[in-house]
Structure 1
Amino acid sequence: MLRKLRHEKFMRGVMIAVLFVVVPSFVVFYGWQRRTGRGGMPEGVAATIKFGMRDKVEVGKADVAVARQYLIGRLQAYSQLSGQPIDQKVIEEVATPKAVVREAINLKFLEHFARQNGIVVTESDVIEDLKRQIPPEQRDFFIQMIERRTGMTFDDYVLRMRYSLLLQRIREVLAAQTRVSVYDAWLEYKKRNEKLVVDFVRLAVSDYFDKVKVDEATLKRYYEEHRQDFEVPDQVVYAYLLVRKSDLKTSVTVTDDDITSYYAAHEEDFRLPPKVKVREIFLARPRSTPDKPLSREELTSRTEEVRRRAQDLYQQIVKGEDFAALADRYSEATEFPPREKDEQTTSSDEQTTAGGNLGFISRTTAKTFYGDVWTSTVFNLAVGALHPPIETARGFHIVKVEARKEGTLQPLEKVRDLVRERVLEEKVQPLFEQMGEELRKNSQKFTSLEKLAEVTSQTVRVTDRVNKGTLFIQGIGFLGDFQEAIMDLQKGGRSDVLSDANRHLVIELRQEFPAHIPEFDAIRDRVEKAYRDAQARELALADAQKIRDRAVNLEGLRTAAKDFGLTVTRSAPFKRSEVATFVGDIPNFEEVSLKLKTGQTELSPLGNEQRPVGYIVWHLTERTPPSQEEFRNELPKITAELLDRRVEVLISEYLRDQWQKLGSAIKIDPAFQ
């Protein structure tokens, strides 16, 4: 497989960024070491699925590793979108063995769906995909970085990328079967951009703490009734020495000559992709669905009918018919690729899809959105050229190229920081590997962690108490590959040198603390705080309900609030997504506000629904819809987002149905239950 990548001619591209975006997520969570067979399972198999008498598949090590990556990837995506850091407890709750193997089974369900719908992605497809993305001069660097950053072989990497490509093609197939009306898009746009004004009064739980009466007998009774709430789980203390690659960067100097030389030798790495301005008429390929199943013959017949329609439209354009007019009348496109900004593009060009206008598209975007065939065909067309229908997995595309801009080399000053990081990586990597070898050599000689640290000029650090089985240890970070080796440690035991792409770790289990419920006297302050918090929450809720009951209108809200010594505040106009800034952190605000009519009043918790920090009584005073002109400008974007959402719903429903349908045909290793 490596020979294919190294010796065949590649198409140019600038998708080397895949290495730095996709691969690191594999690094942290790739793992699940081989286990001995349990519960009747073959060794190294987490689950089996029997789709039919002769159709049985196994969920193995690689499947579980990919599933873990997808689970954590969702949290990482949420964190990036929301700007909120991922909480360690949430990570541990999400990436449980049970959840990971369930996700791996879901991926097998999707593979089964792909087979049923003729969607096939082989390792050769991934190789071809990489060929089109990575320029020849970058291939060795790419392969080296996979091995360095992930510890995976190239074959392992290809296997993981096969899953990604398969899911992409499944989504394309489902998207071609889905439609989003303009009315649907308007409802979504209105929900997001409607401006609300509310009058509200807040009741903070903390304001009621001093009103809670406390005595020893009450606290002891509360402690006995809620003993399990105060349980401390199994905990441990580790000692460790850790070498991070990033820490070695301070010992390396990168000169201007280094940067200039690297840039000169790797110019193609910093070339922007070419882009073309395109118009398109798209006719969707017919699909067989559970609701409207088609036989193979029917599917073939309908596909031929669509192919003939596409060819007929092409001939009409060749004979002089207006491309834009035909696109407006016949094109079935419902989602569109993101556009590249260009100095030749007007503001109206950037927004409209009228006349089949796709705007400027880069080769990278085209490859991701349309696939290989469309991209290679369109980017080889001359300006003004019209191409016969291009057939893809989604349907038939009649394309006309209106303008073209070749890829440009970015000046050194613009990419200096990126070049510097590349040079730094090249200089640090040998030092990092040397340190790993030194640790492994001396780890065999010295049983004392302190002595090992002394001879390797490292420092022994000791953790605070951490929960046993945690995925994250302060000072070390996410354990990833290291977790199973650490879990296997007995008191006084020490690991071998554990290494991944960025760390070398030697860790020792120093102390163990079994799960227990502390005696009342040991945690009296904690019990009192919990009791005051619970009682204060009840008092705040009772007052909020009294205000709500009297707030039959805005004046009633003001009068009731005044009687409780509170003041009603009027918000500035805000979108639903801005409620936390203008009003407060109200759970499910979008859902509640959509059901509420202007002039109605609602009572909501603030913060966590189970343990709110307060309550808010709010009156919906005004609502102002967005303008139709703004909506028309955003229509392509909203339509694409709704389409993506509906595709995800279709996938979720399919997975749910598979679990219900197969039931006992799914066997899971008890270790993952």
Structure 2
Amino acid sequence: MNVLKRMRTMGFLKILLWIIVISFIMAIFTVWGGGLESEKRGGSFFGGNYAVKVDGESLPPAVFRLKYRFYVDRIKSMLGDNFRDSFLQGAPQNIANQMVDELILTKMAKSYGLSVSDEELAATIQRLYNFTDPKSQYPQLLGSLGVSAQDYQTFLRTELLMEKLHDLLAGSVYLSDADLRRLYAEQNDKFKATLVQIPSSRFDQQVGTITDADLKARYEQEKESLKIPEKRAIQYVLLSKNYFESRVNLSDAQLQAYYNAHQADFSIPATDRRASHILIRVAQDAKPAEVEAARKKAQEIYDKIKAGADFAAMAKAYSQDSTAQRGGDLGWFSRTAMVKPFADAVFDQCKAVGDVVGPIRTQFGFHIIKLTGIGPQTKPFQEVRYQVKQAMMLKDPAIQSEIQKQYDEAKKELSSLKDDSGLQALDKRFGIKPADVAVPFGENQAIGPLGFDPELSKAIFTTPQGAWSKVLPYRDNGVIRFKVTTVQPAHTASFDEAKNQLRQEIQNERASAFARTAASALLAGAKDAASLEADAKKDNYAPQQVGPLTATDTIPGVGKDPEVNKAFLAAKAGDKVGPVASKTGWVVGIVTDRTNADMEKFEEDKDQLAQTQANKVAEQWMNDYVERQRQALEADKAIRFNQPLIKEMEPASSREAG
């Protein structure tokens, strides 16, 4: 996790020095719509409703929505025509996690005596928006953002407090001149090289037979270290509100009535269109002849459609896209959901439903496009039946009350379960059956379909075999109760248990030895970089010219491996380097250029380097603090997410042409 990186994608950082006269500050309190809500006035810093809760403190849904809005705007601004709705999948949960981090860091900030005054808050709002008439402009701003004064100020106070904390920590970092010189050299010493990686896997077939005698000899050498930890299997009963939501039976008449009363919620906006397409694929970097062949094929299909051929039938017959089997239908989409050439064709060239245009060239190939719908429109009931049910369940207090009632009653019955006989009652009344994790697992392994859950594992490995556990919270909206059915004690692995692992170890070692020998021979026979490259190609390796690279750069084809970089930086131009062990084999090469950092320029860059490094250290301190606190809070089940809110913000399934 990188807490500061997440925050910087969302917030206002590096607040400039501000100077606002006291008369203006006072004016803000008296004339800005809603006033500045502060803790001192009795307004809660944390809203009553919540998006996230941490140890009893929370941030409200409006702040969550505002953060999400700013995030979406930022991503769209960065990506422009390349933006896709699919890029937002998972973003609501990431933002909620960021808000948890902020609440944790708020505690850290307060422990250092940090706070954000009303004067600082007012000055920041003025600096950001440069109001000339705060009395009218501030309420207008709040209206455009869709938040109250209190929620917006909560959002901004949090951002400013995080910045203050970061600056305090960064300001406490001390770096000596020697430290800075070492860092500067690490970032600016560079090399170029002709480099070859010899992968160990290439020699797997040369390893030969690994006999039982080989395995037994290795087993005798290593058996004291071949420990198999205790493993357990369980039977469990899991209750979740999602289960009871799935049992809600709403008639078509009820759903139709809700749909009729809320059609605006299930409407296509005026900015959306619907289209079908036929795609003939061709790579962006394809040869001219290949491009022309694809264009010609697309043109032939277009001509047939214009002559009367059925578009959907032609899509099924010729389209090279996954939409072919549904006649090329892409569904409804906004202009920004598609690549620009495709969007321009749909929204500019097509004037009426039924229009067909093409061939249109995009990065995916050539498209024939048919416009099949123009917003605004109300989606047909059958098309949105599931969404109607979800919305009705979420917003109808009576349904929510019944779901909660069923959940509470099942939880009570689960709590009273004393032995296996009680399982029948749960099944009979609620249709809840026990499940088994029959394959034994270790304490640090995934618990079958329940996944990796440290707290649940801890409970499982401290519960006696055969006894039902107490009811435990599970994730954010459920509870679980289990019985340990099998206990395999920790023990030294037998030969049969260990032999597959030992076989792989020997295989890897022998293949690596062959690869090292081949790498040494290749390097020894090279007179210079050119001959190394030629010899490598003869042996069907993939030589490459790399650089300039620093000590921390990733080497193409090798990956991020500081030891390899270090070996090449220790050499001078013309030197042979290697073999150096990499993650997948051995690397050899010849340095073709080697430059040292300009230490005269170091003096010019020293202050900026010190600041950059101080920022990194501060971020790491904040990251470490959050990690430690989250572990403790998660262990105490003290972090809660408003999952319905998060799910509400998740984008619909993304669509793109191609």
Q: Would you say same fold, with TM above 0.5?
A: no
TM-score range, shorter chain: 0.3 to 0.5
Find the structure with the greater CA-based Rg: 2
TM-score by length of 2: 0.43
